[in-house]
Amino acid sequence: MYQKYLRDKLEKLKLSGQYRNFTYLNRICGQYPLAQLRSEKNKSVVVWCSNDYLGMSENDTVLQEMHKAIDRYGAGSGGSRNISGSYEMYEHLESELAQWHKKEAALVFPTGFTSNDATIQCLLRLFPELVVISDELNHASIVNGIRATKNNREIFQHNDIEHLEQILKKYPYNRPKIIIFESVYSMDGDISPVEEIISLAKKYNSLTYLDEVHAVGIYGPEGAGIAAERNISEQIDIIQGTMAKSIGIIGGYIASSNEFIDSIRSFSTGFIFTTSLPPSVTAGCLASIRYIKENNYLREQLYLNTSRIRVLFKEKNIPLMAGSQTHILPVMIGNAQDCRNAAERLLQVHSIYIQPINYPSVPIGTERFRINVTPNHTLEQIEQLADAVQEVFQYLNIYPFINKTKK
């Protein structure tokens, strides 16, 4: 009975075109963004959808520090920081993160998902009367943390300041409130009105919780994010980030006041009962952040390559989603099967890997490609991408007007 129920669920998913298949490929160290398909060892493909935005996963300084840490400390951490002890390196990393975001303290988690989920759950349980007000496009890790509690919750329309204020007006000034939002939204590539949200939070006596996952490393002085770019980091109560994207490794963190950080460290079950990051990973994260802070050329090359793609796509009538203001370049397709077919042709015919973005990452009917260029992509690869996407869309008749403009 149970297996049949699950088989039916999976079959329905496959028929809808939303079923997800893994593409087995191995990135080639020292040759990013190249990778090899498992089934074709001699065939290299160009990866265009990695979150390794700055290519730091293959940075020589990072690799050297990770090797040193393995030789010195071994492979694993041995358990949670409370039980197995806390490597001195964690303290160095947390101090670096706090300074980066102009906060008093920081706390590191094994993943970015956990840092959101565990922190939000803990905060809402510490303040049972706290009303949580969340942007409708917030990440699943935020949604998961909110849903795990019984607190009153409100959802405001994406980046809609007027709707947010309507919600805030419903509650007494002294009722505890927290506004949770992201700086850069990963599926549309847009930026939230951070200053306006902070202004409303002050007006209505609300805490602010900002997810900077897709901004750290890329925007602001030393890559500290959108809040730093706009010189308002100190006005945000809690900043959350990850070390799995621009930093190029894995791990999540929050940065805030001493009281907030110590409370999450002391009361969050998602932190207390989780095995800590391996020391080699911690060392790599620390080395990566320091390198990113000191090397602005990575950001400049990323901006340049992003601009090149925007220009070429416009020339070829390949429409990027209008809201994109960042390095994230989404191309709306709007149908799961078309998205899958286009990705398959790009891979097999053009040796380009772009993963289809389907539900539940985006709503049904808004399936898309999410293209991420890096400083490592060459001009030749960028031109190849534009030609290949145009050919695939013409071949599959995804955007009919492209055919009409072709002479």
Annotated active-site residue 43? The verdict is: no
What one-letter code names the amino acid at 285? Answer: C
Q: Which of 245, 316, 404, 406 is catalytic?
A: 245
Catalytic (active-site) positions: 245
